[in-house]
Amino acid sequence: MFEPWQLAMMEDCGLTDTDTGLVNRVAYELAKSPNDTIGTAEFRSACYACGVDPDSFTQRDLEQLRRKLGEIG
């Protein structure tokens, strides 16, 4: 079994299928972009590249994504 800190680390890196893990996975994909702003097409493309359904994102998920991108960048 994993220790709680190990699970948190995996989730932070986007290695889990929890909501936070999926958001983080997309954030790390988007962080590769040289663009300062991210359009809908780029967001959807990043989601598909990560195996995440872009239509499943809620407003809360998008806010979490924005925070994570701020942390990464």
* Sign of the alpha-carbon dihedral angle for 8, 61, 35, 25: positive
The number of CA neighbours under 13 Å toward the Cβ of 64 is 15
Q: What angle do CA 66, 21, 23 make, to 5 degrees?
A: 25
Query: Which pLDDT score, from 0 to 100, does residue 62 have?
Result: 95
Residue 53 belongs to what domain range?
4-72
Distance CA 71, CA 73 (A): 6
1-39 per-position pLDDT tens digit: 788 888 888 888 878 788 889 999 999 999 999 988 999
Domain count, the chain: 1
pTM of the predicted model as reported, rounded to 2 decimal places: 0.84
The per-residue pLDDT for range 41-64, each reduced to its tens digit, is 999 999 999 989 999 999 999 999
